[in-house]
Amino acid sequence: MTIQIASVPNGTVTSAKGFSAGAVFAGIKTPGADKRDIGLLVSEQLCTVAGTFTQNSIISPSASLTRDRIGINKKVKAIVANSGCANCAVGAQGLVDAKETTDIAASHLSTTSEETLVASTGVIGVELPMALIREYIPKINVTENGGSEFAKAILTTDKRSKEIAVSFDADGIIHTVGGVSKGSGMIHPNMATMLAFTTTDANVDPVFLQETLSNAVKLSFNQIDVDGDQSTNDTVILMANGAANGALLKGDNDASDAFAAAVLKVCKHLAIEIARDGEGATKLIEVTVEGAYSNDDALKASRACAASLLVKTAVYGRDPNWGRIFMAVGKSGIKLDESLINCYVNDIQIVADGKGISYNVQSVVSALGDDEVRLRVNLNVGSGSGQAWGCDLTEEYVVFNSAYTT
């Protein structure tokens, strides 16, 4: 039996039972209306925890410390996150500061440093301003309604917060999964500058928890692209505190399937919102590849297309240059037969059997002007399918990133 997943109105990372959050503006970021730059997320009880992290060879000590503190046999209770400073490429001081930050947060939240995770995002090559962190973390008030405050605290160049919560009923018990993310630039999939924190009040076996998160990341955060650059700080965390008092989910029943579907829905929503909010972007690009030899081939090809700078600029300029879609799919390295490929823009077919066909050019140009542009490629060689998401590349992105620190 398939269990339905429902959206939680105004859902946040604290929608799941037993989670609280709060934030403060300490001055790590430049001042602005309603800004926050340090946030705390805490569970009333210890959580099993799963995570995925950047695969960049240069990694922030904040991310590496958190990576070391999660695992099958480990429990955590809290996360402290800052924006405005990545705490990366600062030598040995980075790890010292990351540890002290968790010490301060743990003391404020009455837990231990080992049960506290840390995440940072912002400018690389700048040390954490520890004087501000020491002063302002103790001023943070955490509440059950503080999820949106926490969401503000992790934003950098984002234009808006990214939050969601969903729920499902298993054996008469409502289970909730909530999430929050940030990301707008330096975004290219391979989780393993993005952060995502997800929470649940479900009681979940730690092995199944990690499997669930890893699969969800593969189909969501690993399938987005803004600018082809992979951050040094990418972190996705899933905390499960069991506060719903449901049965243990181990991956062997309908409730486990519902939980996995809920986590995927949360991660996919957050990932798409990151792509939509790309620096300088004016539209979301969704790429669907179907008829591939395998799902993995379809994921690889759709990601190559979403990440192509030439596809991005064509969409921005409303140029129906389908040759760029062909190029991107071909460079992905998957097996295909060029003579079988069909292509569509917002369901308008522009290629059949590997060749351009007659179509209403103005209709396609108009479709490329929509806020959401859907590119669909049918390879017609198998049953594999996959999706990826990106955004257009504009002059604003170039101007913004040409003077990021000045």
- Count of CA atoms in the C-beta half-sphere (13 A) of 112: 8
Sign of CA dihedral 42, 139, 128, 400: positive
- Pairwise CA distance, residues 102 & 15, whole Å: 24
Q: Could you count the other beta carbons within 10 Å of the beta carbon of residue 68?
A: 11
What beta strand segments (E) does 86-216 contain? Answer: 116-123, 162-170, 173-182, 195-200
Rounded to 10 degrees, the C-alpha dihedral 363/365/366/372 comes to 120
Residue type at 403 in one-letter notation: A
> What is the C-alpha separation between 275 and 281, in angstroms, rounded?
9
d(Cα 273, Cα 372) in Å, to the nearest integer?
12
Q: Which helix (H) or strand (E) holds 342?
A: strand 342-345
Q: Considering only CA atoms, which of 286, 293, 287 is closest in space to residue 380?
A: 293
Distance of CA 125 to the CA centre of its chain: 23
Beta bridge partners of 145: none
Contact 315, 368 (CB under 8 A): yes
111 is an active site residue:
no
The one catalytic residue in 54, 116, 193, 200 is 193
User: Which sequence positions are flagged as catalytic?
Assistant: 193
